[in-house]
Amino acid sequence: MNTLGPVVVVDGSTANCLLFQKIFKKLEMRNTLLCFGSLREAGYRLSEVGMDPFLLLVNVMQFAQKIRMSDYLLFMELRCLCLFFSISSARCFVVDAYTGPKLTYTSSDWSEENFTEMILSALLHLEKESFKELLRRRIEDKN
């Protein structure tokens, strides 16, 4: 992966954040991994330090809960790539809703190995398809 910015995980579960740390270490990712409990917390903390994330990984259950408009606006201000994920005892999935065409990676059989493979596939696709577009937007934003 690149070092344009950190990868931000938004998930209320400490166990899931630890899982992402383990996955990123296993995949030898160079990006810093930051975990937050909510979109609001992620938006405020990142804007406080003026940090632009490269990728946002959001537990889809964060969106299933009622989100205030201010939370949504913070999310939109981050202007980065986003993957939605879900981990349950029976199955897991990762959805890439922002690059074209939209992709969904699913496994009816939950295991850390299956989830790691899904994350890797999604990241490789993002890196291949979206890296140039992200760079272009960042350069335009700075000018």
Q: Which residue has the higher pLDDT, 133 or 38?
A: 38
| CB atoms closer than 10 angstroms to residue 22 | 12
pLDDT at residue 34, as a whole number = 94
d(CA 40, CA 104): 26
pLDDT digits (tens, 9 = 90+) for 27-62: 888 889 999 988 878 888 888 988 888 888 888 776
d(CA 24, CA 48): 25
pLDDT digits (tens, 9 = 90+) for 71-117: 556 666 666 777 778 777 566 667 665 555 566 667 777 778 888 88
Among 1.10.3210, 3.30.70, 1.20.120, 3.40.50, what is the CATH number of 7-142? 3.40.50
Contact status, residue 1 vs residue 123, Cβ threshold 8 Å: yes
